[in-house]
Homo-oligomer: A and B are copies of this chain.
């Protein structure tokens, strides 16, 4: 498949005329061909209009049709073969093995949502039978969830496949019955076009209305804002920076009809090392922590940006070993020149903070966008009085906090903003302290994990990739895992609707074989 630089608007390929851009190879800072054109306001309008026109048809496709559409996309992505991986590697600087893994995750996500659609639990089918004898009589009441409407998706720079054109936001929105308009990330436009064409073809092959999928190219501050402001768009999925996410939230809330924005933004992912775990596993913890910190040049939303322990010999030994392990780590190429510049700036801001001491650094950077990893340390009281230490530095940078006692550990925990993850390392001997930590972590984080590291987000039914602000703009949801579909649904109640007008999910004979809540009792098919 050839990369053309064109956008995908319904069934058409369109070269945008409002400006243009090339993808950049971050390992060389050289432009990659071809050039991509930016969407005009008319292009945005057309993509949104098509999505609006497709909505009623698409949301009422059968569960089987929608599941099979998702599987067609998954197969199409695998069928692209090495061309996809090669292009993604060139655009992002990410290693081939990592991208192959990410492709696997992407198609698994699509297949998970095919299962979610077939299971139909997301419909929340609920029936309260009529009680004609009651005074006053109760009418027949039935509830199902329906799709919210067309969704605007903004992919992330750091997952060119799994959080991008056919990533979790797109998969869950399509699963819910929502047409999708993607704003392709400018950091991997060729990858975006390849995947976008797979979806465009799947729409046609599955006989769906063309407006089910479009993909636009342009600046977030222009095309992105126009997209979120369009009346046909009814929800937004976004993964990226806090400033980018908040700009979309603002636009969405100022519309004539405000709409929900699911922005996954900023998290520093505290890791708590409790005493006995720290004492008995010092060396292994140090190595595993450094491996997690430097994985993928630290470019994960779940990168461990804080390590918290009570000051002790074991803690100091942990830091020494971590510093040594860090010194062996090669600098890795970051995703874009912009991300690299922000990392260099963020690291040097930290270096200026007086009470923050350098623990160790990775190998110095040679290629233009490579990042040198950094671990620093400060006291609990410094952390509690220095707001700048809570700001995410996107990349392989972390701060260790040595607290004077467990009470200060709790204070540090309470002082944190909302997080995607919180990690605890604990042996059985630490469980009494862990119990005291847990309620606060539940209030702060979407995922709490023990004796592991937060990088690596499993795509499963029980996953939560979300959390209180500013980790996300909406803590009531997850952007990874089966429950991500709930973001794009709303309940509708049908009162005394004649049987021949009822949606299949709510018909008496249960043709979709759904689990349903009938008169307050959960009933399997």
A residues with CB within 8 A of B: 55-56, 60, 115, 119, 121, 124, 126-128, 136, 138-139, 141-143, 146, 148-149, 249, 253, 257-258, 260, 417-418, 426, 428, 431, 434-435, 438-439, 442-443, 445-452, 456, 458, 460-464, 466, 468-470, 473-478, 481-483, 489-498, 500-501, 515, 517, 519-520, 522, 524
Q: Are B143 and A495 in contact (CB-based, < 8 A)?
A: no
Q: Are B460 and A500 in contact (CB-based, < 8 A)?
A: no
Q: Are B522 and A515 in contact (CB-based, < 8 A)?
A: yes
Query: Given A497-B448, A501-B431, are A460 and B492 also a contact pair (CB < 8 Å)?
Result: no
Kindly state the separation between the CA atoms of A477 and B476 in the bound complex, as whole angstroms.
12
* Chain B residues near A473 (CB-CB < 8 A): 258
Query: Given A515-B522, A520-B461, are A438 and B501 also a contact pair (CB < 8 Å)?
Result: yes
Output the least CB separation between A525 and chain B (Å): 9
Kindly state the separation between the CA atoms of A439 and B56 in the bound complex, as whole angstroms.
7
The listed residue (B121, B143, B249, B257) touching A522 by CB distance below 8 A is B121
Q: Are A493 and B462 in contact (CB-based, < 8 A)?
A: yes
Would you give 16 A-B contacts (Cβ < 8 Å), ordered by A?
A: A56-B439, A60-B439, A136-B456, A139-B452, A141-B460, A142-B462, A143-B462, A148-B476, A257-B417, A426-B498, A449-B495, A450-B497, A458-B495, A475-B490, A477-B490, A481-B493
Most buried by B among A253, A452, A464: A464
Q: Are A475 and B148 in contact (CB-based, < 8 A)?
A: yes
Q: Are A522 and B524 in contact (CB-based, < 8 A)?
A: yes
* Chain B residues near A136 (CB-CB < 8 A): 456
Q: Are A461 and B517 in contact (CB-based, < 8 A)?
A: yes
Number of copies: 2
* Chain B residues near A500 (CB-CB < 8 A): 431
Q: Are A126 and B461 in contact (CB-based, < 8 A)?
A: yes
Identify the 5 closest CB pairs spanning chains A and B, nearest first.
A449-B495, A464-B493, A143-B462, A141-B462, A447-B493
Kindly state the separation between the CA atoms of A146 and B442 in the bound complex, as whole angstroms.
8
Complex: chain B residue closest to A525, CB-CB? B522
Output the least CB separation between A452 and chain B (Å): 6
The listed residue (B60, B435, B498) touching A501 by CB distance below 8 A is B435
Q: Are B60 and A496 in contact (CB-based, < 8 A)?
A: no
Query: Given A461-B126, A520-B461, are A447 and B495 also a contact pair (CB < 8 Å)?
Result: yes
Query: Given A449-B496, A461-B126, A492-B464, are A520 and B115 also a contact pair (CB < 8 Å)?
Result: yes
Query: Given A260-B474, A462-B143, are A491 and B501 also a contact pair (CB < 8 Å)?
Result: no
Q: Are B449 and A139 in contact (CB-based, < 8 A)?
A: yes
Q: Are B119 and A498 in contact (CB-based, < 8 A)?
A: no
Complex: chain B residue closest to A447, CB-CB? B493
Q: Are A490 and B476 in contact (CB-based, < 8 A)?
A: yes
Q: Are A143 and B464 in contact (CB-based, < 8 A)?
A: yes
* Chain B residues near A477 (CB-CB < 8 A): 490-491
Output the least CB separation between A316 and chain B (Å): 27
* Chain B residues near A468 (CB-CB < 8 A): 257, 490
Kindly state the separation between the CA atoms of A320 and B438 in the bound complex, as whole angstroms.
67
* Chain B residues near A515 (CB-CB < 8 A): 522
Kindly state the separation between the CA atoms of A519 and B119 in the bound complex, as whole angstroms.
13
Query: Given A447-B493, A475-B148, are A469 and B257 also a contact pair (CB < 8 Å)?
Result: yes
The listed residue (B138, B475, B478) touching A460 by CB distance below 8 A is B138
Q: Are A128 and B492 in contact (CB-based, < 8 A)?
A: no
Q: Are B474 and A491 in contact (CB-based, < 8 A)?
A: no
Kindly state the separation between the CA atoms of A458 and B129 in the bound complex, as whole angstroms.
12
Q: Are A494 and B148 in contact (CB-based, < 8 A)?
A: no
* Chain B residues near A124 (CB-CB < 8 A): 483
Output the least CB separation between A229 and chain B (Å): 15
* Chain B residues near A490 (CB-CB < 8 A): 446, 466, 468, 475-477
Complex: chain B residue closest to A521, CB-CB? B119
* Chain B residues near A435 (CB-CB < 8 A): 501
Most buried by B among A435, A478, A517: A517
* Chain B residues near A519 (CB-CB < 8 A): 461
* Chain B residues near A489 (CB-CB < 8 A): 476
Complex: chain B residue closest to A489, CB-CB? B476
Q: Are A461 and B143 in contact (CB-based, < 8 A)?
A: yes
